[in-house]
Amino acid sequence: MTVVAYIFLDKDRAELIPLAKQQRELEEYVHGLEMQCREFLIEENCSCTVPFKDRKEAKRLLENVQAGDVIFTLHAKWVMGSPKEALQLMAFLKETRVSLYCVDLKGDIVNKTERKLQINEGIAPLVLDLCKALSVTVSSKSHSEAIRAGKARKKKDGKYSGGPVPFGYFLGENDCLQKDEQQQRIIQEMRSLKADRWSYRNIAKKLEEEYQLKFSHEGVRRILLKE
């Protein structure tokens, strides 16, 4: 079994913790688990946005770990990256039978931990579920953002962005709304009636009697507000 400590010196300084402080805290944590660190890997001149597997020292670490090895680091966010990257990393380490301890999470985030004569689930299942939940959330958010962006582009180009076609229009070529002349005349009549102080409810009744159009008083109000 080889115990390795991964130290990350943030190039952007946003998450920078001095080398000596990281080394001291890692040594104390490893010693508390009755282990001894054999090697310190120091990741320098690297941004936290770079995927863990693409970093120089991290890549070397992942290429050389073997079953039974243990990795320690101070902060989970330094190695986990996005939810997708975190799940991939945890799956790889679990398959390789390597443990990853994050001091800020106070445990092995990959495997169950043995404590005395009992098997303790530890935090690994919690972290895995968290990553899965975040992955779904991020995916859903990205999908929603893509839909909103698509609708914004269509609106900018004068195209209809979806949903029921509003009364007074029809969907023409290139997904563009075009005025329906007959329905526009009805809307004009609705506007004249409202100007004559007709109620929305009475206008709706007149539309049904003369044009066989069934609108609620609220539907009539919405049509006139959009005009």
How confident is the model over 56-72, as pLDDT tens digits? 999 999 999 999 999 99
Quote the DSSP letter at residue 104: G
The percentage of the chain sitting over the pLDDT mark of 70, rounded to a whole number, equals: 77
d(CA 215, CA 69): 71
pLDDT in tens, 149-158: 655 665 656 5
Per the listing, tokens 């990959």 go with 110
Position 163: which residue type? G
In the chain, what percentage of residues exceed pLDDT 90? Answer: 43
Q: What is the pLDDT of residue 159?
A: 63
pLDDT at 127 (0 to 100):
65
Predicted local distance difference test score (pLDDT) of residue 140:
47
pLDDT value, residue 160: 65
Quick check: 205 pLDDT over 60? yes
Comparing 29-38, 95-104, 123-132, 166-175, the range with the smallest average pLDDT is: 123-132
* Confidence band of 16 (pLDDT split at 50, 70, 90): confident
Decide if 2 contacts 20 (C-beta within 8 A): no
Predicted pLDDT of residue 117: 43
Nearest alpha-carbon partner for 169 in 179, 181, 182: 179
Confidence of residue 142 (pLDDT cuts 50, 70, 90): low
Give the highest mean pLDDT range of 80-89, 167-176, 208-217. 208-217
Low-confidence winner among 9-13, 86-90, 178-182 (lowest mean pLDDT): 9-13
Cα–Cα nearest to 64, from 41, 43, 86: 41
Domains and CATH numbers, the chain: 3-134 (3.40.50.1390), 169-226 (no CATH)
- 89-114 pLDDT, tens digit per residue, is 889 999 999 999 998 888 888 887 65
- Assess contact for 182 and 169: CB atoms under 8 A: no
pLDDT band at 17 (very low <50, low <70, confident <90, very high): confident
